[in-house]
Amino acid sequence: MKAAILEQQRSPLVVDDVQLPQSLDYGQVLVKIHYSSICGAQINEIDGVKGPDKYLPHLLGHEGSGVVEKIGPGVRNVGPGDKVVLHWRKGSGIESATPKYMRNGRQVNAGWVTTFNEYAVVSENRVTKIPDDADLKSASVYGCAVTTAFGVVRNDAMLGSGQSVVVFGSGGVGVMVVLAASLVSAYPIIAVDVNDSKLDAARQFGATHVVNSRKADARAAVSSILPDGADAAIDTTGIREVRELAYELANKDGTAVLVGVPKAGEKISIDSFPLHFNKKITGSHGGDSNPSYDIPRLMRLQKAGKFGLDGLMSIYSLDKINDAIADLRAGKVIKCVIKMQ
């Protein structure tokens, strides 16, 4: 099978043939991947944001969709022929051993789930069965972007009707946070980014106000809309100055939610005194979502017409994955999705 391999940090991925394990271990599931989304987490892995990578070479990707080919011993939640979403957060089922792939006689490492490959051996608790009539293209973004965003709004920010929110960063997760906020009738919903096309997408998905922080002072612009600050200020960028600003723009009873991954060892500076009263700051770990519960529920909402994902995804082939990553870095697209052959 073809797979995109991270051989060296801060270098393009290598697309090459990789051999699957000869048999499935306890709790493992073999999935034929149809679509894989590219998350900012993979950009961080490539760039070494968290530091040196001791698992090189390895496969990548943690959100995708496909069809189950085979199941290993002990697997009960899915079976051959099932459509599934692949996700990085734990769901129901067994957490298996991680698979070992081979390339030219050398081992290629992988985690409990990878999706930048035509076939994947994944842990049972990293796949969730979806309806037979589900669209696999849009299903791929449920593995992280959609479930993370809805979890951030529901579990981390605990936004309710009429509460205000400012969202920093209008990438895949940021735009989905805007969507999730709109579905709980938050108001106003302010999107902040440096890219007008991304802000246009944020408007499409429910932002009531947008701020281009290259053209205007974000602090002043948000404060003109919300003089007392936001009930929730959510950062999806991981940039130190933006994380600090998110905290400062949350009101005295508000919550700053840090979603974006910062550089290893990079600290922020805040005035902690408001934390002694009602102000809060929290880091998000995938919105504390439960994929086995959240994915079917959110798919029912999409099927009922409560929201759509048109305009979110740009499609690439696996051999063009480095072009997709470059376009994502350049802000030309909101969400890159790789269509497997």
pLDDT tier for residue 308 given thresholds of 50, 70 and 90 = very high
Residue 341 has pLDDT above 90, yes or no: no
pLDDT (0 to 100) of residue 310: 86
Average pLDDT value for residue range 26-43: 96
Strand extents, DSSP E, 189-308: 189-193, 209-212, 230-235, 250-258, 280-283
pLDDT averaged over every residue in the chain:
97
**Percentage of the chain modeled with pLDDT above 90:** 98
- Whole-angstrom distance, CA of residue 256 vs CA of residue 259: 10
- Whole-angstrom distance, CA of residue 145 vs CA of residue 158: 18
pLDDT (0 to 100) of residue 320: 98
Ordered structural domains, the chain, with CATH: 2-143+310-339 (3.90.180.10), 148-287 (3.40.50.720)
pLDDT, tens only, 171-212 = 999 999 999 999 999 999 999 999 999 999 999 999 999 999
- The string of DSSP codes covering 90-113 is --SS---PPP-EEETTEEEB--S-
pLDDT (0 to 100) of residue 161: 97
SS3 144: coil
| Angle, CA of 328, 212 and 157, to the nearest 5° | 80
Average pLDDT value for residue range 33-52: 94
For residue 287 the two structure tokens come to 């919105």
Burial 95-104 (b: 16+ CB within 10 A, else e): ebebbebebe
- Contact call for residues 230 and 255 (beta carbons, < 8 A): no
For residue 282 the two structure tokens come to 């929290």
Residue 130 has pLDDT above 90, yes or no: yes
pLDDT, tens only, 259-274 = 999 998 999 999 999 9
Neighbours of 253 (CB within 10 A): 13
Burial 192-230 (b: 16+ CB within 10 A, else e): bbbbeebbbbbbbbbbbbbbbbeeeebeebbeeebeebb
pLDDT (0 to 100) of residue 194: 97
What's the Rg (C-alpha) of the chain?
A: 20
- Whole-angstrom distance, CA of residue 263 vs CA of residue 78: 37
| Cross-strand pairs, 127 | 86
pLDDT, tens only, 219-248 = 999 999 999 999 999 999 999 999 999 999
